Structure 1
Amino acid sequence: MEVIPYGRQNISQEDIESVISVLKSDFLTQGPAVPSFEKSVSDYVGSKYAYAVNSATSGLHLACIALGVGPGDRVWTSPISFVASANCALYCGASVDFVDIDPITYNLSVDRLEEKLIAAEKNGLLPKVVIPVHLAGQSCDMERISLLGKRFGFRIIEDASHAIGGSYKATKVGSCLYSDITVFSFHPVKIITSGEGGMVTTNDDHISEHIYRMRSHGITRNPQEMTKPADGPWYYQQIELGYNYRMTDIQAALGFSQMTRLDEFVKRRHEIFQSYKRLLGDLDLKLPTLVDYAHSALHLYVIRVPNGGALKANRKELFERLRLHNVIVNVHYIPIYSQPYYTKFGYDSNQYPEAEAYYSEAISLPMYPDLTDSQLEYVRESLVKPIGHQTIF
């Protein structure tokens, strides 16, 4: 059987031709493809602004900068995420804390968030920013988080790295109706890809101007932002210390082309979700739950493996079984607070019982649009067939 990865990009002939057209053009970077891609995303999600960057990590960093995160500030996020969700605050000199996850969605628990905020208010330790992570493509309960933001005075960055194409209630993820900023990822295993890259969306004029400058060295050509009149049409000023977080036109052309099939990709992922439900429903596994208030982009399909269950394997044994059969599963994610770099900050794992339970059981099965029915059936077969099982006698 061929290798079946947990995620894989889908590249069409149209995607290839879009990239070739840029390679033949006058602009490989800082040309017209980037604003075209940005407009396609802002139009799709319904945001006022969208800015392409070279990774979602860069986007998260810029988002923290734009909200004024710095030394002495506190940023809270989910422990079940890639480390970038927390690293972005450390880049700015802030401290990071975590909120335990919901046992059903595996997203940041709004109940635990409220409890932690009440305690933090009493101690004068409220966060400046909270970063909800839409794990596996399913939106957090953003309206409830937004209400808490107004009540306790924190700003909100949605880490939607998994979630382009998803919706929350009546709006697309990325509309920023319930947040200040949203960040998407276009890594090859995500819903759409630009090779590497990300996008930051916002509706705030000031945030928009700040991100626009900071992704390109802190430089402006806007006369209203300059400290003196321009010397000529060539003139620019660096008015703050920024970064080179720009996306190339080559990447943007691929992303723009992929946007035309975004809804198609998400629809196919939902079909695969239903196939898994049919194929795995009788096994001793906890399958993922979709909530009524969100339409997930279904970046990941995470199962949980109870220890000592009917499959006669714990999570590690089942993981090895699947990989032995060329089903290249993964685990998303190791709790961030348990990483060696973070343990020095003294986090107590007992504060995150749901994250601990999740990590002890979670496996991400293959989930991407090109999965076939026969491959899905093979995944089931590999789940139930012990290592060393012989089919020919």
Structure 2
Amino acid sequence: MEKLKRPVYLKPGADDFFKKMHKEVEETVLKNKSLHQYNIIKSLGVLSLYFLFYAGILFLGNNTALLYLFYILCGITMIVLFINAFHDAAHGALFKKPKHNDMFTYVLELFGSNRWLWIRRHISLHHAYPNVQDWDVDMKQSDIVRIFPNSPLFNYHKYQHIYMWLIYPLYSLNWLYIRDFKDFFGTKNNYVKRITTIPKVEVYRLFITKALNLFYLLFVPMAVLNQPWYVVLGGWFAMHVCASVVGVVALVSTHVDEHAHFPQADEEGKLSSTWAMHQMIVTKDFSANSGLANFLYGGFTHHVAHHLFPAVGHTYYPYITPIIKRYAEEYGLPYTNYPFYAAVRSHFRMLKNKGVQENIMMTGEI
């Protein structure tokens, strides 16, 4: 597997804004222990809801309307649980003890994915080098959609702002049944294999967890309910569509709008900003002032705070963001927060722009 030279950030100077910001956050916001307790209660509560809705499928699913309702609620709860609880645990931010966070990350395997693989993709690649081509695996997933300025341009990309409306609702199905297998066994543009070797035990776990996921979510309802198999299959499919729609809002609203930047390393592998400046440049917030959005999307609404303080639970972010905004204004750094519908609209404008040959004046480094 091809080995690439890791990009290197500029070293922060004596007047680095992040050193001051980090100290202020430590001395003020992070001393509120009740926010940590709230995060745990919320996470365990959402996990309980997921099992409650699953029980609704089994015990009330003979009514087709209720069957679909509880499947859809399972899908939405699954994504909310992932975005909030699992995401924090993967960053070591949910519980105080690392072993408890590690144990909770196995929740992802309940949904049929692989925790080991996702953590490598998200933390070792996306968080380390967001929006950097050949490193940010969360941005570059396939040739179906073109996002990076230097990615190959195919004729069908001129329609990507149209057909992605149909593909995004299949996101979770692609994640579980295509992307995971590509990352485990694929050789073309396999970012994960560039940074690590996949343990053999994870290959076995990959197949086992996907089989268990299909067993309890699809085959058990088919066996115990007085419903035709295709009705249950339809409910399962509706679960994934609704989960994908809710999840994609978070994915497209934080890094890839029409004004997104994609910094490139020079020939020596050096990036043109410090790590903290880079996070500010390539990351945006959405609907950060909405209590409902904050509850559903956790660290994604306050995504700048998440990228600057990934080891801090998302319940702290609404209190960290005002500090970030103040430092951004003081140091002349970008900060964006827009409603989710504006973020989604801007993303599809970006897809339309990236579907044609770029104006050379619109690309390049910051």
- In the superposition, the TM-score normalised over structure 2's length comes to 0.27
Pick the structure with greater CA Rg: 1
Task: Indicate the structure whose relative CO is greater, using CA pairs within 8 Å and at least 6 residues apart.
Answer: 2
- In the superposition, the TM-score normalised over structure 1's length comes to 0.26
More strand by share: 1
